[in-house]
């Protein structure tokens, strides 16, 4: 058995196409959706992510601008930039690219973002609304996963779901969304006893713990749906030979690095019923949902 591939790239493209009409409608009414991005430092991965997000905005006619601060910036300096974006009417969504440098108090910065512009869904007000099942903005990665499941006709109600990872960005909101969709949810983490045995109980397994290739065949119930949220870079040849499917090895040898998830795809693909690839799975959905939240923020501001 080979797992069905859940193509996040194609799903993200479909979402963007659906947004095009809404963006055109808002522009016709004089309200072009606008995204303000705050980037602190020169973290290479963060710069790539920001470029992908602003590129998706540009493709739909969504206004975007990035405020870049040096890696030495203080909490006060970052807060000042966010507060200025809060007061600009043409900016409907604000994204603070994480991670922030260690001297910057990320909690304080995110708390300053106006909740009605918090398109990442990280402000305490939006977190509380999600808990109460009356969300304004849902964090983009979990929201994208729910879109992926729905658009591939994968039912959640009544299923046993296991989420590996308890971050505020993915694990916790993912568990809430699955619970709201009537799944029975277990959240696992680094201190869960016999993690593989717990994971094997899942009809739907979401891996979001940040450890390359952690989830192997023994973690997966035959036929289960496996969603891989991991984004890890591998540069060691021996590690690459273990983690990559054979078809990806020539690309690794050419570039000297490769992106892998938290799921050991070569072994899991022979057990799971469906599996998201890395790259091309959850990543594109995160970007598409950021644009969708920005368009929603502009619609709410009318």
Domain boundaries, the chain: 32-115, 140-282
Active site residues: 53, 97, 120
Indicate the helix (H) or strand (E) that contains 286. Answer: helix 282-300
Fold assignment, 140-282: Rossmann fold (3.40.50)
Q: For position 110, what pLDDT does the model report?
A: 97
Coil vs helix vs strand at 116: helix
Mean pLDDT (the chain) is: 96
pLDDT per residue as tens digits for the range 179-228? 999 999 999 999 999 999 999 999 999 999 999 999 999 999 999 999 99
> Which of 218, 180, 181 lies closest to 202, judged by CA?
218
Coil vs helix vs strand at 290: helix
Q: Would the CATH topology of 32-115 be identical to that of 140-282? A: yes
Q: For position 47, what pLDDT does the model report?
A: 85
* Residue 59 CB neighbours (<10 A): 11
Pairing relation of β-strands 34-40 and 63-69? parallel
DSSP-assigned states of every residue in 56-108: HHHHHT-EEEEEEE-TT--HHHHHHHHHHHHT-TT--EEEEPSPPPTTS-HHH
Q: For position 33, what pLDDT does the model report?
A: 98
Under the banding of pLDDT at 50, 70 and 90, the label for residue 43 is confident
Q: For position 281, what pLDDT does the model report?
A: 97
Under the banding of pLDDT at 50, 70 and 90, the label for residue 48 is confident
Under the banding of pLDDT at 50, 70 and 90, the label for residue 256 is very high
- Whether 1 shows a pLDDT value over 70: the answer reads no
- Whether 6 shows a pLDDT value over 70: the answer reads yes
Phi, psi of 79 (to 5 degrees): -60, -40
Domain 32-115 has CATH 3.40.50.720: no
Tokens of 201: 């109980």
C-alpha–C-alpha distance, residues 84 and 123, integer Å: 17
Phi, psi of 141 (to 5 degrees): -70, -50
pLDDT per residue as tens digits for the range 99-108? 999 999 999 9
């Amino acid at each position: 058995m080979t797992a069905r591939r859940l193509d996040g790239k194609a799903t993200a493209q479909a979402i963007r196409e659906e947004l095009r009409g809404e963006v055109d409608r808002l522009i016709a009414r004089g309200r072009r959706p606008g995204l303000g991005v705050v980037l602190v430092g020169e973290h290479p991965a963060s710069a790539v992510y920001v470029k992908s997000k602003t590129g998706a905005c540009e493709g739909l006619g969504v206004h975007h601008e990035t405020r870049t601060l040096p890696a030495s910036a203080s909490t006060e300096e970052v807060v000042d930039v966010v507060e200025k974006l809060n007061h600009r009417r043409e900016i409907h969504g604000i994204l603070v690219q994480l991670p922030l440098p260690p001297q910057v108090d990320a909690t304080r910065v995110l708390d300053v973002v106006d909740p009605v512009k918090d398109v990442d869904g990280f402000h305490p007000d939006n977190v509380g609304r999600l808990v109460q099942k009356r969300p304004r903005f849902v964090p983009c990665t979990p929201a994208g996963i729910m879109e992926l499941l729905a658009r591939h006709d994968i039912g959640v109600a009544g299923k046993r779901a296991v989420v590996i990872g308890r971050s505020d960005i993915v694990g916790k909101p993912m568990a809430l969304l699955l619970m709201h969709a009537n799944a029975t949810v277990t959240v696992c983490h680094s201190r869960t006893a016999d993690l593989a045995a717990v994971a094997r109980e899942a009809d739907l397994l979401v891996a979001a713990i940040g450890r390359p290739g952690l989830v192997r065949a023994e973690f997966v119930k035959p036929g289960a749906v496996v969603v891989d949220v991991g984004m890890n870079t591998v540069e060691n040849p021996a590690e690459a030979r273990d983690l990559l499917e054979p078809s990806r090895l020539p690309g690794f040898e050419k570039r000297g690095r490769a992106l892998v998830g938290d799921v050991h795809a070569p072994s899991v693909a022979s057990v799971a019923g469906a599996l998201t690839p890395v790259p091309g799975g959850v990543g594109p959905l995160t970007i598409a949902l950021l644009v969708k939240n920005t368009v929603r923020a502009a619609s709410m501001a009318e």
